[in-house]
Amino acid sequence: MTTPVLSRFHPLVQKWFMDQVGSPTDIQKQSWPKIADGEHVLITAPSGSGKTLTAFLWAINQLITGQWDVGRTHILYVSPLKALNNDIRRNLIKPLEELGRVFEAQGDHFPNIQVMTRSGDTSQSDRRRMLRYPPEILITTPESLNLLLSSAGGRSILTSISCVILDEIHAVVGEKRGTHLITAVDRLVRFSGEFQRISLSATVRPLALVARFTGGFTMDLHQLSVSRLEKRAI
């Protein structure tokens, strides 16, 4: 039996989650209704609380249900940690493959959702392929996002962004890289129009500082919802 917080997901996404993951975490229960309503969300929680899946699953559901068309880049994930980006890609491929098998077993169509990373290490052949066949999910760094926005080819794959996930926000607040990141996100609005922003942060204080940073320069702070999970004392 599914839980109420999963009820807005595709039935087979619900089945996959219950079979492979189990019960939603507290942070997922807080965040998914807000994300499904299209709110900008700041999720702050300790490691291991399911923040990454929380950020991605509704967006993946939008691709599965056809709300967002495949063949265009709709989901942009940005992290200051290049090594983390490779892990994120691997951690997305596995559930996508599992979901594909669940849909196939039920005789239902599952879209071809591609996940690619873009960094200074990306080969020229992969960069060309990305321009010809934009991935539905693009994983990158603040520096590479700025480079993409500085070229006509890069901008061409960023015109359909529906959701931007900003990870490890606490690591760049108050730093030059953080300024570059939020400036790039605001530049992106000019090419794609406004999109949902989901920011992920470790449990930090003052939370208001991270919230103001996440809002960038084009979004009012009152538009931002905060899902918070504090680490309990043992």
Rounded to whole angstroms, the Cα distance separating 68 from 70 reads 7
187, 228 Cβ separation under 8 angstroms = no
- What is the three-class DSSP state of 139? strand
According to the model, what pLDDT value does residue 31 have? 92
Ranges in the chain, pLDDT < 50: 217-222, 230-234
Rounded to whole angstroms, the Cα distance separating 104 from 71 reads 20
Rounded to whole angstroms, the Cα distance separating 212 from 182 reads 11
Dig out the tokens for 77 from the structure.
Answer: 């994930």
Dig out the tokens for 86 from the structure.
Answer: 């490779």
Q: Choose which CATH entry (3.40.50.300, 3.40.50.1100, 2.40.30.10, 1.10.10.10) describes domain 18-228.
A: 3.40.50.300
Run of H or E including 194: none
According to the model, what pLDDT value does residue 217 have? 46
pTM of the model: 0.90
**Burial class of residue 70 (count of CB atoms within 10 Å of its CB; 0-12, 13-18, 19+):** middle
Q: pLDDT digit string (tens) for 104-123?
A: 999 999 999 999 999 888 88
| Residue 116, CA atoms < 13 Å, CB-side half-sphere | 25
According to the model, what pLDDT value does residue 99 have? 98
Nearest CA among 5, 8, 41, 14 for reference residue 198: 41
| Residue 27, CA atoms < 13 Å, CB-side half-sphere | 25
Alpha helices in the chain (DSSP H): 11-20, 26-36, 51-64, 82-105, 124-132, 142-149, 152-156, 176-192, 207-215
Rounded to whole angstroms, the Cα distance separating 171 from 202 reads 9
Q: Is the dihedral of CA 174, 137, 14, 58 positive or negative?
A: positive
Give all strands (DSSP E) within 156-219, no chain letters.
163-166, 196-201
